[in-house]
Amino acid sequence: MGTGGAHPGPESERTRDPVAVLVVDDQASFRSVLRDVVARLPGFEVVHEAESGEAAIEAMDERRASLVIMDKRMPGMGGIEACRAVTSRHPEAVIVLCSVEDMDQRVIDQCGAAAVIDKQALSPRALREIWRAYGRDGAEA
């Protein structure tokens, strides 16, 4: 391989050590969709699933995913509150909130989410772009 820059180095390195992904949604059917989207991303691997904000915090304490894709609205602790808790314990995590509702940018900034994406716009390309913008080169996978 030559040096010239057509292939970004950090992404190539990430494909050797997969980016660990935690998917969080109270609906099993949407967790399945999230798993399918992540499976289409080379270099990314779902390491755990959670169905609540509380379970997401516990999963992060145990597995430490680098990328968390979390539903905004869930029974019990919702995504915004869970995002605050996860980012306070694991500031290196990149959290993407998914919602069908518009969200106030101040709320996003205050909870520590890297991005918010409409559930219908969720795609491998969208996640890749978010990871390129917010991912950490040295993130543990």
Give the model confidence (pLDDT) of 12-65 as tens digits: 444 468 999 999 999 999 999 999 999 999 999 999 999 999 999 999 999 889
Whether residue 5 lies inside any domain: the answer is: no
Residue 140 lies in a domain: no
Q: Supply the mean pLDDT for the chain.
A: 85
Number of domains present in the structure of the chain? 1
Is residue 4 in a domain? no
Identify the burial level of 62 via C-beta atoms within 10 angstroms of its C-beta, where 0-12 means exposed, 13-18 middle and 19 or more buried: exposed
Give the separation between CA 57 and CA 69, rounded to whole angstroms: 13
Tokens read off for 133: 């913008």
Separation between Cα atoms, residue 35 and residue 126, nearest integer Å? 14
Residue 6 lies in a domain: no
Please check whether residue 113 lies inside any domain of the structure. Answer: yes
Residue 43 inside a domain? The answer is yes
Q: Give me the CATH number covering residue 121.
A: 3.40.50.2300
The predicted model gives 116-137 an average pLDDT of 90
Residue 17 sits at the vertex; the CA angle it makes with 14 and 23, to the nearest 5 degrees, is 85
pLDDT band at 137 (very low <50, low <70, confident <90, very high): low
For residue 82, being part of any structural domain is answered with yes
Classify residue 55: in a domain, yes or no: yes
Domain extent for 59: 18-134
Tokens representing 86 are 């996860």
* pTM of the predicted structure, to 2 decimals: 0.82
Instruction: Tell me how far CA of residue 24 lies from CA of 11, 47, 120, 135, in angstroms.
Output: 24, 11, 16, 18
Cα-to-chain-centroid distance, residue 119: 13
CA atoms within 13 A on the CB side of 73: 7
Higher per-residue confidence, 84 vs 137 = 84
